[in-house]
Structure 1
Amino acid sequence: MKGTVKFFDGAKGWGFITDENKNDVFVHYSNIQMEGRKSLNQNDVVEFEIGEGKDGRTQAVNVKRQLSVNEDGSVTAYDAELNQ
């Protein structure tokens, strides 16, 4: 499933992704698949699956960033395999 990052608080390590059906889905940094510091930016395009957290709530898992919209408006594409 694809979606767009609505909000992500890097300090707290959580946020929300808006999915293709306009639903907001919780995301925790531990479910982001990338090297280094795991964080997302508002408006990043991501691919993810729906799973269940330790608390039993629905959340995004196996989250992979595909496109990032930078502050200057430029776009960075990420290799789906490397996701760096």
Structure 2
Amino acid sequence: MPAGKVKWFNNAKGYGFILADGSNEDLFVHYSSIVMDGYKTLKAGQPVAFDTLQAAKGIHAVNIHPCHSEEEAIRVALDMEQSQDEAPVSQPEHQEVTTRRAGNG
């Protein structure tokens, strides 16, 4: 999971852009991808940790975690990456379904 900084975010329109550490590419961010309670917003220059998603119009930042410092953003990014690596792969459970018809009986 990458870390980076908010380039700009428009609260009225609900979107903006993030610049990933070590990259010159702007990543689109929509307010619905911000992970926080209450009013979802970002501030220019704010450190963040996030995932990326390839979309038709470019790469989007998703699962965005606002942070208070660059160190926190890097730690959150590493923790999330590690938890994704350790997450067990779930197998769908087979469930037997039986139906009964109502009848005279």
Identify the TM-score tier after normalising by the shorter chain.
0.7 to 0.9
Comparing both structures, which one devotes a greater share of its residues to helix?
2
1:9 corresponds to which letter in structure 2? Answer: N
TM-score (norm 1): 0.73
Q: Is structure 2 residue 63 aligned with structure 1 residue 59?
A: no
- Return the alpha-carbon distance in structure 2 between the equivalents of residues 66 and 23 of structure 1: 20
Comparing both structures, which one devotes a greater share of its residues to strand?
1
> Across the two proteins, how many residue pairs are aligned to each other?
69
Q: Is structure 2 residue 33 aligned with structure 1 residue 27?
A: no
1:19 corresponds to which letter in structure 2? Answer: A
- Return the alpha-carbon distance in structure 2 between the equivalents of residues 52 and 22 of structure 1: 16
Which segments of 5 or more consecutive residues in structure 1 lack a partner in the other structure? 69-76
1:59 Cα shift?
Answer: 0.4
TM-score (norm 2): 0.59
The list of structure 1 runs, each at least 4 consecutive aligned residues, that deviate by more than 4 angstroms after superposition, is: none
Identity of aligned residues (%): 39
1:22 Cα shift?
Answer: 2.5
Q: How well do the aligned residues superpose, as a CA RMSD in angstroms?
A: 1.9
Indicate the structure (1 or 2) with the bigger Cα radius of gyration: 2
SS at match of 2:68: strand
- Return the alpha-carbon distance in structure 2 between the equivalents of residues 41 and 66 of structure 1: 11
